[in-house]
Amino acid sequence: MSKDILNTLSPTLLMGPGPSCVPDPVYEALSKPTIGHLDSRFIAIMDEIKKQLQTLMQTGNKLTIPLSGTGSAGMEACFVNLVEAGDPVLILKNGVFGMRMVDVAQRLRADVDVLEFEWGTPVIVDAVKEKLAEKSYKIVAVVHAETSTGVMNPVGEISRLLEGSDSLYLVDCVTSLGGIEVRTDDWKADALYSGTQKCISCPPGLAPISFSDRAIEALKARKTKVPNWYLDLTMIINYWEGASRAYHHTAPINMLYGLYAALDVILDEGMENVFARHKETHEYLVKGIENLGLTMTVSPGIRLPMLNAVNIPEGADDEAIRTALIREYDIEIGAGLGPLAGKIWRIGLMGHTARKENVDRLLDALKALL
């Protein structure tokens, strides 16, 4: 029964907001023999993954590990480990994922202030500067690559506003990691999280995170226990570090094999080469989109290479075209979210997907359908 559906799955060109196309070594890794989560061979793999993530995240942070949930669990983990009831938190919001941060932090009873910017435009650094002059925050949070709009936020510039302050800097790198530079240490980011199904090109299911020593100090100085046993880093750290490797929860073994292989593919190609490939493929797509008479939603200079928002042309039937793309061409692109639903398409060029031949395939299909 199950075999029928699984065996008829045709490979799909995943050009939406994630998951992205998965390279063969990752598929192979996923089906390697399951071993125990306390097996010394598995611990050796965990140690390798930590090093790979440190390289990709450009950090020396010891607490740099994948958590056992999707990217959203990474967001949850960063907030739940650092927030206590009443803590002042500033969230810079210009899309769905900033909005989600607000919801997450409020549920944890943080005292949340929101600086909102128009969707499709970036966070304005001067506005943040003014806000920080008014009030001090325990946490300032921003999304690097806003997947809902295709906008890149000025994460480095914002970090400079926080120099010398006690605020912890929390950065969402779900969509950026593996596609553009994530400079954890240069940005002095204190809590940073990502997902595996975007530019890392591993199936969804894991959330790489990195915590600075300052963030760990804040975690250790909590007055109350982390109100989430599953994501409590004070315990998870004892499984990922040290000699004894205390059991916390059973690690998702085969998913971690997949991540290990996916990071190896990236580091083997070379980070600089991978970022250049994303940039070139993005530019190639933009040219092709404009040649079709379509327009980009986001202004040049702040566009994400891996998530391209394209305005749906007048008269085009959003859903009919997306459905035809998947049914007739085996190509998935993403719909707009929130206020941009029905107004934009989101074309992902993430990780293994970011190749000119894939862009050609999409452009040919769009040309036929429009």
> Which residues inside 132-161 make contact with its own copies, applying CB under 8 A?
none
Q: How many residues bind its own copies (CB under 8 A)?
A: 79
**What's the min distance (Å) between Cβ of 209 and its own copies?**
13
Q: How far does Cα 89 stand from its chain's mean position? A: 21
Of the residues 11, 242, 293, 300, which one makes contact with its own copies according to CB under 8 A: 11
Of the residues 57, 63, 80, 285, which one makes contact with its own copies according to CB under 8 A: 80
Angle at 186 between CA 238 and CA 309, to 5 degrees: 95
Identify which of residues 34 and 291 has a Cβ nearer to its own copies in the complex.
34
Q: Which long-range contacts (CB under 8 A, 24 or more apart) does 312-315 make?
A: 312/336, 312/342, 312/343, 312/344, 312/345, 313/370
| Piece of 25-33, 115-123, 295-303, 354-362 that binds its own copies (CB under 8 A) | 25-33
123 in Cβ contact with 90 (< 8 Å): no
Chain positions 31 to 70 lying near its own copies, rule: CB under 8 A, are 31-37, 39, 41, 44-45, 48, 68-70
Task: Work out whether 257 is an interface residue with its own copies (CB under 8 A).
Answer: yes
Identify which of residues 185 and 264 has a Cβ nearer to its own copies in the complex.
264
**What's the min distance (Å) between Cβ of 165 and its own copies?**
27
Identify which of residues 122 and 150 has a Cβ nearer to its own copies in the complex.
150
Q: Which two tokens stand for residue 45?
A: 């793999």
**What's the min distance (Å) between Cβ of 287 and its own copies?**
26
Task: Work out whether 199 is an interface residue with its own copies (CB under 8 A).
Answer: no
| Piece of 158-166, 226-234, 281-289, 356-364 that binds its own copies (CB under 8 A) | 226-234
CA distance 337 to 115: 20
Chain positions 92 to 121 lying near its own copies, rule: CB under 8 A, are 100, 103-104, 106-109
CA distance 140 to 172: 11
| Piece of 117-125, 220-228, 281-289, 362-370 that binds its own copies (CB under 8 A) | 220-228
Q: Which two tokens stand for residue 250?
A: 């059973």
User: Residue 331: which H helix or E strand, with range?
Assistant: strand 331-335
Identify which of residues 314 and 327 has a Cβ nearer to its own copies in the complex.
327
**What's the min distance (Å) between Cβ of 88 and its own copies?**
18
Identify which of residues 110 and 132 has a Cβ nearer to its own copies in the complex.
110
Chain positions 159 to 188 lying near its own copies, rule: CB under 8 A, are none
Of the residues 121, 228, 238, 311, which one makes contact with its own copies according to CB under 8 A: 228
Q: Considering only the C-alpha atoms of the chain, give the largest distance between any 2 of them, rounded to a whole number of Å.
A: 63
CA distances from 218 to 73, 212, 236, 276, 317 (A): 20, 10, 16, 37, 50
- What is residue 322's three-state secondary structure? helix
Q: What is the dihedral of CA 232, 234, 239, 242, to 10 degrees?
A: 170
- What is residue 221's three-state secondary structure? coil
Task: Work out whether 222 is an interface residue with its own copies (CB under 8 A).
Answer: no
Chain positions 314 to 353 lying near its own copies, rule: CB under 8 A, are 326, 332, 337
User: Residue 45: which H helix or E strand, with range?
Assistant: helix 40-57
Strand blocks (E) in 47-124? 63-67, 88-93, 111-116
| Piece of 9-17, 110-118, 161-169, 290-298 that binds its own copies (CB under 8 A) | 9-17
